[in-house]
């Protein structure tokens, strides 16, 4: 039987990984929804991880019979199992993907031992950043916030503050802001923003324009300045510029 690393390294899409002197991290995605798990594993491979995806805990245990992954990204509820129990079986860190709302649910998962928690729907860039943080630290830890000037985005609580004052954003606006901020200054096309901040096969270029407009207005009203720090780059997309703060 092949080892986990052999299966991950031979998975479609990994043949184009950039060469590196550092051993790639092994990341396993466990998500019942086939489209979502495909999108997640494709995004993780872009960061050079040896990533694979399965739809159930049974498949995950079978795949990792020879070697555990470095990180598990798993839906909270699995058939006859849970993300937390699966992580314990595999002996690895876990990012739990949950559909539950409210701080109580988040705190409960963290108290149970989750290394990080992401609420659905979430942006792919936010997930990628959290994976990088956990893998880099090699231990339990959370990237709690991203700060650009007076603007702070609290990733865990999904809260935004400007000069320590709260800015109320919808889940989609929050995901869009994260996509523009990671990293700040990068021009993001409409298609990239759709991929990073919208669920698979939902929305379109006009949806991006509409959400950017509402996000700009909210950041302007909060005091971030004209355009809310978001610049339109003609025929390319949008950019969050710290020069505008």
The string of pLDDT tens digits covering residues 131-184 is 988 888 764 334 457 788 889 888 767 789 999 899 999 888 988 898 888 777
**CATH superfamily label, 4-137:** Response regulator (3.40.50.2300)
pLDDT at 82 over 90: no
pLDDT at 107 over 70: yes
* Residue 156, pLDDT score: 62
Q: Is residue 221 exposed (0-12), middle (13-18) or buried (19+ Cβ within 10 Å)?
A: exposed
Looking at the chain, how many residues does it have? 245
The CATH class that applies to domain 145-244 reads: mainly alpha
C-alpha pair distances (Å), 149 with each of 53, 146, 163, 196, 221: 37, 10, 9, 23, 17
Average pLDDT, the chain: 81
pLDDT in tens, 41-79: 889 988 888 888 999 999 998 888 767 788 999 998 887
Report H helices in the chain.
4-9, 34-46, 57-63, 83-90, 103-111, 124-137, 171-181, 190-197, 205-221
According to DSSP, the β-strands at 26-30 and 230-233 are unpaired
Does residue 204 or residue 219 have the better pLDDT? 219
* Residue 7, pLDDT score: 41
DSSP state of 66: S
Mean pLDDT, range 119-127, rounded to an integer = 89
Q: How much of the chain exceeds pLDDT 70, in percent? A: 84
pLDDT in tens, 181-213: 877 788 888 988 887 777 655 678 888 999 999
* Residue 244, pLDDT score: 52
* Residue 237, pLDDT score: 92
Which residue ranges make up each domain of the chain? 4-137, 145-244
């Amino acid at each position: 039987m092949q080892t986990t690393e052999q299966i991950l390294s031979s998975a479609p899409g990994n043949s184009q990984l950039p060469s590196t002197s550092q051993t790639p991290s092994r990341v396993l995605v466990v998500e019942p929804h086939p489209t979502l798990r495909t999108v997640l594993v494709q995004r993780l491979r872009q960061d050079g991880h040896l990533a694979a995806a399965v739809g159930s805990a049974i498949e995950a245990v079978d795949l990792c019979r020879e070697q555990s992954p470095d990180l598990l990204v798993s839906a909270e509820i699995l058939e006859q199992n849970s993300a937390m129990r699966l992580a314990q079986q595999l002996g690895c860190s876990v990012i739990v993907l949950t559909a539950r709302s409210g701080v109580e649910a988040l705190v409960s998962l963290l108290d149970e031992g989750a290394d990080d928690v992401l609420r659905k729907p979430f942006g792919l860039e936010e997930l990628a950043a959290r994976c990088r943080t956990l893998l880099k630290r090699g231990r339990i830890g959370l990237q709690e916030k991203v700060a650009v000037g007076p603007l702070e985005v609290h990733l865990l609580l999904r809260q935004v503050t400007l000069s320590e004052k709260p800015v109320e954003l919808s889940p989609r606006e929050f995901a869009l802001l994260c996509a523009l901020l990671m990293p700040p200054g990068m021009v993001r096309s409409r298609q990239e923003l759709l991929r990073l901040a919208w669920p698979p096969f939902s929305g379109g270029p006009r949806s991006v324009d509409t959400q950017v407009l509402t996000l700009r207005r909210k950041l302007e009203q909060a005091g971030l300045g004209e355009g809310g720090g978001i610049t339109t780059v003609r025929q390319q997309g949008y950019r969050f510029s710290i020069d505008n703060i």
